[in-house]
Structure 1
Amino acid sequence: MDDGVDYMHPDLKFNYNAKASYDFSSNDPYPYPRYTDDWFNSHGTRCAGEVAAARDNGICGVGVAYDSKIAGIRMLDQPYMTDLIEANSMGHEPNLIDIYSASWGPTDDGKTVDGPRNATMRAIVRGVNE
């Protein structure tokens, strides 16, 4: 759950699960990051690579779980965030996804931190405690 995943990246394309993926920012099944002339989103792709980058493909690194499958859930790359977007993202395809990873932050400056909205946070706490 991030700003998208470059599912065509040579390190990720064979470990990408399209059925488990969705773009909640654009409401379509293609969670590709948004790139413009002055904005380059790659956090979700980098996080996915740390986990599932292919081994022995002659590129560079290898993921810690290089045989695992990853999904892309794009939810953060938009001017607003709502509980509904977070809830839909966190509840997307639970029969296909074993682990959800989310990075919340209003900016990518490395020091500002945000978190899930109120209803989402209450649902997380309830899920842990009950």
Structure 2
Amino acid sequence: MADLAKRAKAAEDAADAAATETREKLAARVEKARAEADGDAEKLRANANAAEQDLADYWQQIQTGWKDHVRKTRATLQEKHLKHDAARAARQADRAEANAADAIAFAIGAIQEAEYAVLDAALARADAEDAKAAT
């Protein structure tokens, strides 16, 4: 703010002095003022461009950070999904193995029943033969 007041006072003084200066001196001051204004305008453009670039860089960092966050989150979810799938597959395998063991036990029981039936039939045949021979 103080710089603005100083510049306003300098412009006022320059305007007062311009009334008494020669054309050549006045033209030189006009050219100097134009060069200073152009320089200030260029500084403002450079500052604006730098600020714009800083803002663009800032948003790029935010976007990159967000994309990284999303990628990590998805990877974590995929990992949990795979672990869940692996656990589910393990449970299914456990059930299948238990079913197979039950089927084997059933088959063994069926074989034992078949063996009993064969022996019982053989005994029945022997009893029939003994009964026939006794008559």
TM-score, normalised with respect to structure 2:
0.17
Task: Tell me which of the two structures has the higher relative contact order, counting C-alpha pairs closer than 8 angstroms and 6 or more residues apart.
Answer: 1
TM-score, normalised with respect to structure 1:
0.17
Q: Greater helix share, 1 or 2?
A: 2
Q: Greater strand share, 1 or 2?
A: 1
